[in-house]
Structure 1
């Protein structure tokens, strides 16, 4: 690529729950089979990512064991993992700068709980917390919270929007300077700088105030992970980072333009929201070498696991289909993730894949991937940034520790050499890393 320094730099977060989305990762030669549930390994990963100047360590979450048959589940390295807040609170003590992002469901949690946990994490980490807003898509989760039926897709997003309003209102319970802690007068805080929310809406009735000081970042960074029409609108109104899954540059550019346009229609600045697609990086000596690693990795996915993952993606059990036949076009409607299902159906239709081939891909990793030498991958990332396909990426590692080491030790230096990625942090908070403004308090000047 050209020697001229780019006008923008990439933002990079690391998707670390599970530590690899690829279901064959734990079996790859030299990998840590227990990496997903081993704090010693995970803390070392976080420190390596911080040394490489990543924006954030990002944890997804599940509120139920994956809804797949035991014959498939027994092959999954994601069957258990740490609860995000517990792990990120522990990681806050062994890191200093890297952001700490966690998923918290608006479907099966309460706003007061979420507001208090994230405010606590932001204080513990001195301003590095981020909340990934999700509307839980796994129907099995309902059974763990006393419900016989999973909440409808449209109702989940309606609830999420009000949930956001309550949480951010609770974060603003105290003015930034409310706590005077005057030892001589005995006044700990100024009551005039305390706001009681008294929220009453369709889904929530929350008095407040929150019993914790306003977070160091004002609000922890808001991340949103939906690509459906309601998801995009929610992102435009509330999010500061969008985690998404486009399949290629052209679809990414369309998604980028649409969401940024919705942001402007919502009265916000385009750059107040960063779009960071998920992407797996496989670094090799050449593109051929990287592809050989990918083929080896994919070969470790058992069909039982693959077909179960594909069933989850399309929202119905398809284990009885002919493995060597096409995916039917008349599958029953689902109340799960519409974006995931549409993505699978699009791949099946455009590439003419059999059920077996789809299962192999879905069971491994079916998303966006960049493979090649550090120079080849950097070339592609620069194009994505320049052509507005992304503001950066949510990095998915193929296997650990090798895949992470190859990114941090080989790809990151190449990006830094080109001026595409920072050589050091210029601030201490996640908002500063992402070039996001600190929000003012909506109740106090």
Structure 2
């Protein structure tokens, strides 16, 4: 499927490479600093990015303290506290916050996201996740983490309730007529009165209807349950495809699933990509190598255990990965790691180093080389754009905006300026009409 002439969607997120915080010139506390995150959002906006994507988790990872002390993501700012502040210092960029359906309640989350959409003038996005970190359960009074299938059943109902709450008010419900004393039109208020297996929520939401009617919903699950909830509820799919052929298959499958679920609008498929820019290919490859050398082996092995949902510390690190039993952790993530180990015949320690560095799609090279790869994926139906992680911050973002963005703009793959007023406008997504949640 050729899609010549289409524009790339570009999102960006803080780097997850374990060596990024130690790279020369990097700010080790970048993700925990409002000033740096504000700089990041404004820099992305200068580069005409569509959105800033903030991942999140509600617990420290399950790892020995000697490995935790080497990780740079032990503390981050709460996305739904940070994003309204970033809305005040930006004008155009979409603001996507991750929030779990496993350890939140739909009324509170619907209220916070609707508020973000109003504060930002229609730039809110929600990355819908079901928590995969078992440690989160202990932070919310639960002895055990909710089973995988149950998490997704709860998530599906959660999303239904969110949509119903966002439709509590018609767009013109608030007349605020001081002369008559009428503040709102009662006929334009809708009481949800939802009663389901997981939630009983009366409503209405005590925030006005979101500017976008519905904040843009993003979903990242790649398991069978994750793909199905994405097809039924999401508008943007964040995925970890590592090669063009599998990405094309995933793209086609998700569009078919969405149509089968009665969705009229095509999903936007956005793979994650780790970008390392250099003036030459050799320079970029050396930067990548240097990053990997900054990763601690003990921390890498702990990270691999988390990804697999199974303690691998008692295995020979220089031997092959044995058969790993099923767990209650992320199924798609576990399968991706095992597939990588088998396909490249990696030892446990080699696999751990790759995982702790980055095991997904990479684009390493000059601006022209990176643009070539992005253009190929777009035009062959493998992606609508990319969620970019930079080699280090702030330098990696500065380099990308100064070097790669002009190359993409010259090819007509990236806007020269923002055209729309809302996040939906800039993504090319329709605004849901009145009554969308009620069928």
Say whether the fold is shared (TM-score over 0.5): yes
Alignment of 1:162-173 (within 5 A): 162-173=157-168
Q: CA deviation at 1:270?
A: 5.1
| Residue 26 of structure 2: aligned partner | 31
- Check conservation: 1:6, 1:420, Cα contact below 8 A: no
Residue in structure 2 matching 1:294, options 288, 295, 316: 288
Q: How does 1:36-435 map to 2 (within 5 A)?
A: 36-269=31-264, 271=266, 273-329=267-323, 331-435=324-428
Whole-Å separation in 1 of the counterparts to 2:244 and 2:178: 59
Shift of 1:323: 1.1
Match of 2:8 in 1: 10
Q: Provide, for residues 395-427 of structure 1, a one-character-per-residue CA deviation record: whole Å limited to 9, x for no partner.
A: 111101111111111111100000011111001
SS at match of 1:176: coil
Unaligned 5+ runs, structure 1: none
Q: Distance in 2 between matches of 1:251 and 1:73?
A: 34
Give the TM-score, by structure 2 length.
0.98
Aligned-pair distance for 1:289? 1.4
Q: How many residues are treated as equivalent by the alignment?
A: 437
Residues 1:127 and 1:270: Cα distance change in structure 2 (over 3 Å)? closer
Alpha-carbon deviations, 1:270-317, whole Å to 9, x = none?
52x100000011111122211110000000000011001111110011
Native 8 Å contact 1:6 1:419 kept in 2: no
Superposition deviation, residue 6 in structure 1: 3.4
Note closer, same or farther for the CA distance 1:6–1:419 as it changes in structure 2 (3 Å cut).
Answer: farther
For residues 86 and 93 of structure 2, what CA distance do their matches in structure 1 show?
10
CA deviation map 1:303-339 (0-9, x unaligned): 011001111110011122111000002x222100011
- State how far apart, in whole Å, the 2-side matches of 1:190 and 1:444 are: 20
In 1, the alpha carbon distance for the partners of 2:130 and 2:361 equals 23
What RMSD over aligned residues (CA atoms) do the two structures have, in Å? Answer: 1.4
Distance 1:198 1:444, change over 3 A: closer
Q: Which moved more, 1:283-292 or 1:188-197?
A: 283-292
Q: Check the 8 A contact 1:175/1:444 in 2, yes or no.
A: no
8 Å contact 1:102–1:131 — kept in the other structure? yes
TM-score by length of 1: 0.96
- Flag as ranges the 4+ runs of structure 1 deviating above 3 A: none
Q: Secondary structure at the match of 2:431?
A: coil
